[in-house]
Amino acid sequence: MGARNLLTVIGSNFRLNFKQTLFPGILLLFVIPLIYGTSNLDSVKSADCLERMVALIGLPMFVPLLKPEQDGGMDAIITLRPFPYRIIIVLRVVLSLICTVALVLVFEGFMLIGGCLFPAPVFALQTLAVTMTLGFVGLLASAVSRNTVVGFLVSFCWYCVLQVENIGAIFKSVSNGISVYQFFLLLGSGAAIIFFSGLPFEKKGHPAYAV
């Protein structure tokens, strides 16, 4: 029964991820070649494309993960479901992470076919880091505020700040490598997301449970 419930939870959350995260992420990648050249780029230009354009998929891939429970009238339902809510959030993050890796690799393959020259494995890892940072910042804001729109606004503001050369250099992981600050930001924001996501339900005197 436990295994069946787990498979049901994974399946339902994968369908949720596809609608709210993966599908918008795919659409965003289709738009990138229309606004930013993706053919015959050298390593520097490829890095710029990946961290300025492809990293934007971090918004749809991570920020809306708490949205289903932020809709009105969900509190009572969540507290009656059999799986800890924080475990569900971890599962959603992992599913989004797997899908994000796949999208980054597919887009890198598209760039390589188009004649771009860059170290694909290294750039894939570094692109994933900047994408996760952008997404985790918004997801944390969403968890704290209990509002997905706030999460998107914070992520977008973070992205705009990173375009300022002197401020954003340490977080441009594709061009400059993954910094220690970025590494600890990812760890800290990830832990904070898990903590704050279940906090509202614990304050009501119930364990945080969900499907």
Q: Are 47 and 174 in contact (CB under 8 A)?
A: yes
Which of the pair, 165 or 88, is modelled with greater confidence? Answer: 88
The candidate with the shortest Cα–Cα distance to 189, out of 63, 55, 87, is: 63
Average pLDDT rounded to a whole number, residues 48-69? 90
Residues whose CB falls within 8 Å of the CB of residue 134, separated by 6 or more in sequence, listed in order: 55, 56, 58, 59, 155, 158, 159
Give the rounded distance of the alpha carbon of 200 from its chain centre: 22
pLDDT at 170: 75
Q: Reply yes or no on whether the pLDDT at 180 is more than 70.
A: yes
Q: What is the pLDDT of residue 172?
A: 82
pLDDT tier at 37, thresholds 50, 70, 90: confident
Matching residue, tokens 């954003």 = 168
Q: Confidence band (pLDDT; 50, 70, 90) for 46? A: very high
Q: What pLDDT, on a 0 to 100 scale, did the predictor assign at position 2?
A: 56
pTM to 2 decimals? 0.85
Residue 209 clears pLDDT 50, i.e. is over it: no
Has residue 208 got a pLDDT over 50?
A: no
Q: What is the pLDDT of residue 4?
A: 63
- The domain segmentation of the chain, as residue ranges, is 2-210
- 201 pLDDT above the threshold of 90: no
pLDDT tens profile 73-113: 555 445 445 567 788 888 889 989 999 999 999 999 999 99
- Across 60-64, average pLDDT: 93
Residue 115's pLDDT is 93
Task: Pick left, alpha or beta for residue 177 (phi over 0 → left; psi -120 to 50 → alpha; otherwise beta).
Answer: left
